[in-house]
Amino acid sequence: MTKQTVNTDGIASAAAKLKNINSAISFIFGSLEYTAKKLDDDWTGRAAEAARAMRHQVFKGNEKREAVLQGYVDTLMQKVDPGYREAEKTNKSLADEFK
């Protein structure tokens, strides 16, 4: 039987990259949504309503996308570093205290 090895450092590195990309996508979506909403005060009419509806469709799935990708990152990290979730929970708790 052949021996299989898992490059845990590679998995951890890929998960970290995915986490950073996920954060960047969320930031960009948030910035775009904020900018688009600023148009609401200055743009009226049927075209504005159509644009608002389209904007809603584009942005409504962002939170779900972010949660799914974060879940995938968490799963990868949990497999290569069992203490990852506890460390992330502690980091989030500490970050929340400084908000």
Q: How confident is the model at residue 73 (pLDDT cuts 50, 70, 90)?
A: very high
30 and 54 together in one domain:
yes
- pLDDT at res. 27: 94
Q: Is the pLDDT at 82 greater than 80, yes or no?
A: no
Q: Is residue 3 part of a domain?
A: no
Q: Is residue 72 part of a domain?
A: yes
Q: Is the pLDDT at 99 greater than 70, yes or no?
A: no
Is the four-CA dihedral 80, 7, 75, 71 of positive or negative sign? positive
39 and 51 together in one domain:
yes
Q: Is residue 16 part of a domain?
A: no
Q: How confident is the model at residue 70 (pLDDT cuts 50, 70, 90)?
A: very high
Q: Is residue 53 part of a domain?
A: yes
φ/ψ of residue 55, rounded to 5: -60, -45
Domain of residue 75 covers: 62-94
Give the tens place of pLDDT for each residue, 37-52: 888 888 889 998 998 8
Q: How confident is the model at residue 85 (pLDDT cuts 50, 70, 90)?
A: low
What's the number of domains the chain is made of? 2
69 and 55 together in one domain:
no
Q: Is residue 75 part of a domain?
A: yes
Distance from CA of residue 6 to its chain's centroid? Answer: 26
Q: For the residues 68-95, what does the mean pLDDT come to?
A: 81
Q: Is residue 49 part of a domain?
A: yes
Q: Do 81 and 12 contact (CB within 8 A), yes or no?
A: yes
49 and 72 together in one domain:
no
